[in-house]
Structure 1
Amino acid sequence: MTTDTREDRRRLFDHLQSASTQGQFFARVAEDVDWTVQGTHPLAGRYRSKREFTEHTFARLAGVLREGAELVVEHLYVDGDTTIAELRATSTTNEGAAFANLYCWVCRFDGDLIVEVRAYLDSMMVAYTVLRNELAAPG
């Protein structure tokens, strides 16, 4: 692993800080990514494409978080084709509560593309936030 690889991955994951830059992150995710979100909450599941993953997770969170999912890198570990990103959400729910979730994404790269992810998070916080804010949504 070179310093260039570590810096490249750091810059990549830094794009998750804002909805306005997340497209740059997802541009480096394979269309046929195998993304598993662990847990027993509304966003949990195994997604077999970038479209399926983003529709069921980031798009759903955008409906219950004021600015969508905003993630800051806490720690990044790079070894060969594997990068482990520990992330912290800095989002606010539609109700005005902090959504201070913690994430751990174990990502496998093929060249410059993320092809596989196993994501771990606080299931209870996600369930509470999604269900409470979706129920409170007008409509």
Structure 2
Amino acid sequence: MAGHYLSKKAFIEGTFAKLGQVLPNGAQLHTENVIVEGDQAVVELHSLATARNGMRFDNRYCWVVYFQDGLIVRVRAYLDSTMVARLFEENPIA
């Protein structure tokens, strides 16, 4: 799921659409903290989800968001990529 996405549509297709195939109720993201300064924001989130096979997918995220003229122009996302890999190993997409 890592990569450079050039549109919101491409990001959703490359991330949340794939997660939706293995997490019946979605990633269920919950915001913990938001820090905004100038044209940047740091957003801490966590997910409380269960995969098709019953695996708990309780991941933590940190998104660094950049804005220009009120629009998001770039996001850097940090998360437990080992947990994501395990999720897809145990719940392969057909």
Show the counterpart of 2:82. Answer: 124
- Bigger fraction of residues in strand: 2
Is 1:109 matched up with 2:94? no
Q: Which runs of 5+ in 1 are unaligned?
A: 1-42
CA separation in 2, counterparts of 1:134 and 1:118? 26
CA separation in 2, counterparts of 1:111 and 1:87? 25
Say which SS state the counterpart of residue 34 (structure 2) adopts: strand
Whether the aligned pair in 1 keeps the contact of 2:53 and 2:90 (CA below 8 Å) is: no
**Aligned-pair RMSD on alpha carbons?**
1.3
CA separation in 2, counterparts of 1:65 and 1:75? 24
Structure 1 length-normalised TM: 0.64
Give runs of aligned pairs for residues 67-82 of structure 1, distance below 5 A.
67-82=25-40
Q: Which runs of 5+ in 2 are unaligned?
A: none
CA separation in 2, counterparts of 1:89 and 1:112? 27
What's the CA shift string for 1:103-126, capped at 9, x where partnerless? 000001123321110001001000
Is 1:54 matched up with 2:12? yes
Q: Which has the higher contact order (CA 8 A, sep 6+)?
A: 1
User: Identity of counterpart residues, as a percentage?
Assistant: 48
Is 1:44 matched up with 2:2? yes
CA separation in 1, counterparts of 2:9 and 2:84? 20
Whether the aligned pair in 2 keeps the contact of 1:63 and 1:134 (CA below 8 Å) is: no
Is 1:134 matched up with 2:92? yes
- Bigger fraction of residues in helix: 1
CA separation in 2, counterparts of 1:64 and 1:70? 13
2:49 to 71, 83, 91: 91
Alignment length (residue pairs): 94
Structure 2 length-normalised TM: 0.92
